[in-house]
Chain A
Amino acid sequence: MSQEEFPSGGDRFPLTRRSVIEAVQSIDAEERERALEAVCAAYWKPIYKYIRLRWKRPAEEAQDLTQGFFLELLERELLEKFDPKKGRLRTYLRVCVDSMVMNEDKASKRQKRGGTIPHVALDFSGAEEELGATVMDPSAIASPESLEEFFEKEWVRSLFALAVEDLRQLCVECERERTFHLFEAYDLEGNEKISYGQLSKEYGISVTDVTNALAWARREFRKIALERLRELCSSDEEFQREARAAFGWNSK
């Protein structure tokens, strides 16, 4: 692996996809579905965890409510009603969840009527495990501010997890699995003791190659995460605001 294998240049941006807010209003059914899938993929987990903690619902009920929420999003065309000038999509969705849970009987009736939610696999058991691993103590998130903070953190976790998965797929496509493993070992495992030197020994490559591989993976991760984020934002201004929130650039 050498520097030549990790090409870079200033001409790779922007690779932006259309905003989901625009796409849900498209006359093209396929585009509408893709937009809903994008929203569902990024938000189902934060919403599920939020319902579990904020509304203290048991797992099974929270699963129904999460599915019910996305059905409602579809049926009541909630995304089309979102006005970007009034706030962030993230906050809007959270408010919609609150309103739906408060009126949950209605939501469960809708679910019983049946309907199709976007084709996103909702791994509730995985989400439940994650919830168990979440450091945050539910009793410590009683205030609206800490709930907002919790929801934001889970949304960032979901966004980054999707970006990591995209990166993994990209590495497979580019036959750079080793690069992904290095990235995984150094940036995702959270093992502070591991060094570039140790990784170079473990993988039988030079330290420079480890450095280059990690630089490439991080660059691609950042690019993918920002692309996904841009897709979920309706304006440049919202994108900038959300990117700063997601990457913690406001607080540093």
Chain B
Amino acid sequence: MKFLTDKALERLRDSAELPDLSGTRYRLLERVARGGMGLVYAAEDEKLQRRVALKVLDIPGTDGELASRLILEARVLARLEHPGIVPVHDVGTLADGRVFYTMKFVEGQRLDKYVATLDSVPDRLRLFLRICDAVGFAHARGVLHRDLKPANIMVGPFGEVLVMDWGLAKILRGIAAGDSHAADPDAAIFEKPNPSSAQTGPTQISVITGHGTVMGTPGYMSPEQARGDVEHLDARSDIFSLGALLHFLLSNHPEKTTAAGAPRLEKPLEAICSKATAAPPAERYPDVQEMALDVSRYLDGLAVGAHRESFLEKTARFYRRYRFFILLIAAYLVMRVTILIFLHR
């Protein structure tokens, strides 16, 4: 039997990893990411002559747990037709027995990288509202994301926001009438992708088993999700993650921190984050629209529902909102007073 050198082992490992695309319309271009379930490659759809992202399991077999999850993820994506959710094109099994699906190839930056390019708080809040729009749409269609975090949000070259990685998604109810596959196959058996080497976020917890297990990312995961109480998860669990995401957008941390150099948030924004990330789900926003409305109110200079203002705060906000008119009136009054003084001399 031939002795395999370390180099030969590495070559065999590398070549065995490549998906066998023979018999498909796709041509492999390059590997772009690795997750807990498998790999994501850039590929060319030779028929349509366009670049796609191909997500493929690393283990062959169509009847295993991972295969079921990947297929379900593709089906969830296929039903969530929204500009903020990456569209899926195709799903199937490769010649090497591995399940795959293809989706739109998103060129852009992950939110954790992109956020550094946004200078102003309003810009960050407007971006957050676009995330809320996509998540709210999914909730309306009965799908929870369960893994909302900066690494799973992509921002395209034109500022378009895409919510990615629905591998942990939970289907709360049938998406379409008569759809037998839409029922929750198992409220808990979705795998968490492993952190890639480039990822700098908090450590993820990976789980491949059934009910009562923990999945998600500490800092972004709701307490009930962290407890593994998956049967009682609802939209408010994602709202917790959105609250952490908003906090991250405004301070680079998913939660309130006393670390030196951490920016202090304005009270209304801090209140929105606190309400969204309240430990009891009942104290959080009931739905994404409510949370988005509060953020919009802040952007419009209105009082937010999450924060009871003092008289001073109310006055300051009134001033900020009508600063131009207040300054105009003040200038007019100063001018009048000056004229009166001048005339009385």
| Residues of A in contact with B (beta carbons under 8 Å apart) | 3, 6, 8-10, 12-14, 123, 126, 129-130, 133, 135, 153, 156-157, 160-162, 164-165, 184, 187-190, 214-215, 218-219, 221-223, 225-226, 236-237, 239-240, 243-244, 247-250, 252
Q: Shortest Cβ distance from B12 into chain A, in angstroms?
A: 6
Whether the Cβ atoms of A249 and B9 lie closer than 8 Å is no
In Å, the complex CA distance between A167 and B63 comes to: 26
Cross-chain contact of A165 among B1, B15, B58 (Cβ < 8 A)? B1
Whether the Cβ atoms of B60 and A218 lie closer than 8 Å is no
Whether the Cβ atoms of B58 and A249 lie closer than 8 Å is yes
Residue on B nearest A163 in the bound complex, by CB:
B12
Interface centre among B9, B65, B194 (most CB of A within 10 A): B9
| Binary interface encoding of chain B residues 23-39 relative to chain A, with 1 for a CB under 8 A from any of its CBs, else 0 | 10000000000100000
In Å, the complex CA distance between A237 and B65 comes to: 9
Residues of B within 8 A of A157 (CB): 4, 9
Residues of A within 8 A of B96 (CB): 8, 13, 219, 222-223
Residues of A within 8 A of B9 (CB): 153, 156-157, 160
Cross-chain contact of A215 among B12, B20, B60, B208 (Cβ < 8 A)? B20
Residue on A nearest B58 in the bound complex, by CB:
A249
| Binary interface encoding of chain B residues 1-18 relative to chain A, with 1 for a CB under 8 A from any of its CBs, else 0 | 111111111111101111
Using A12-B97, A130-B3, A161-B4 as known contacts, say yes or no to A218 and B15 having CB atoms under 8 A apart: yes
Q: Which 8 A-B pairs have the closest CB atoms?
A: A13-B97, A8-B95, A190-B7, A10-B93, A222-B16, A8-B22, A218-B15, A248-B13
Q: Shortest Cβ distance from A217 into chain B, in angstroms?
A: 9
Main SS of the interface on chain A?
helix
Cross-chain contact of B64 among A214, A225, A236 (Cβ < 8 A)? A236
Whether the Cβ atoms of B58 and A188 lie closer than 8 Å is no
Q: Shortest Cβ distance from A161 into chain B, in angstroms?
A: 5
Whether the Cβ atoms of B60 and A187 lie closer than 8 Å is no
Cross-chain contact of B92 among A6, A10, A161, A165 (Cβ < 8 A)? A10
Main SS of the interface on chain B?
loop
Report 17 cross-chain contacts, Cβ distance below 8 Å, ordered by A residue. Answer: A3-B22, A10-B95, A13-B62, A123-B1, A160-B12, A164-B4, A164-B12, A188-B12, A189-B8, A190-B8, A218-B16, A222-B16, A222-B96, A236-B64, A239-B59, A244-B59, A248-B10
In Å, the complex CA distance between A214 and B63 comes to: 28
Residues of B within 8 A of A133 (CB): 3, 5
Whether the Cβ atoms of A187 and B11 lie closer than 8 Å is yes
Residues of B within 8 A of A187 (CB): 8, 11-12, 15
Cross-chain contact of B95 among A9, A153, A252 (Cβ < 8 A)? A9
| Residues of B in contact with A (beta carbons under 8 Å apart) | 1-13, 15-18, 20, 22-23, 34, 58-66, 92-97, 194, 208
Interface centre among A3, A225, A236, A237 (most CB of B within 10 A): A236
Using A8-B23, A161-B1 as known contacts, say yes or no to A219 and B95 having CB atoms under 8 A apart: yes
Q: Shortest Cβ distance from B64 into chain A, in angstroms?
A: 6
Cross-chain contact of A188 among B8, B95, B208 (Cβ < 8 A)? B8
In Å, the complex CA distance between A107 and B3 comes to: 29
Whether the Cβ atoms of A247 and B16 lie closer than 8 Å is yes
Whether the Cβ atoms of B95 and A221 lie closer than 8 Å is no
Residues of B within 8 A of A156 (CB): 9
Whether the Cβ atoms of B4 and A188 lie closer than 8 Å is yes
Residue on B nearest A250 in the bound complex, by CB:
B194
Whether the Cβ atoms of A13 and B60 lie closer than 8 Å is yes
Whether the Cβ atoms of A244 and B18 lie closer than 8 Å is no
In Å, the complex CA distance between A188 and B15 comes to: 11
Residues of B within 8 A of A249 (CB): 17, 34, 58
Q: Shortest Cβ distance from A34 into chain B, in angstroms?
A: 19
Cross-chain contact of B2 among A8, A164, A221, A243 (Cβ < 8 A)? A164
In Å, the complex CA distance between A226 and B57 comes to: 14
Using A10-B94, A14-B61, A129-B3 as known contacts, list a sample of 15 further A-B pairs with CB atoms less than 8 Å apart, ordered by residue number in A: A8-B95, A10-B95, A133-B5, A160-B9, A165-B1, A184-B2, A190-B8, A190-B11, A218-B18, A219-B22, A226-B59, A237-B208, A240-B66, A247-B17, A248-B13
Q: Shortest Cβ distance from B118 into chain A, in angstroms?
A: 32
Using A187-B15, A243-B59 as known contacts, say yes or no to A165 and B2 having CB atoms under 8 A apart: yes
Whether the Cβ atoms of A225 and B16 lie closer than 8 Å is yes
Q: Shortest Cβ distance from A120 into chain B, in angstroms?
A: 11
Residues of B within 8 A of A218 (CB): 15-16, 18
In Å, the complex CA distance between A176 and B266 comes to: 72
Residue on B nearest A3 in the bound complex, by CB:
B22
Residue on A nearest B31 in the bound complex, by CB:
A252
Residues of A within 8 A of B11 (CB): 187-188, 190
Whether the Cβ atoms of B13 and A162 lie closer than 8 Å is no
In Å, the complex CA distance between A187 and B10 comes to: 9
Interface centre among A214, A222, A223 (most CB of B within 10 A): A222
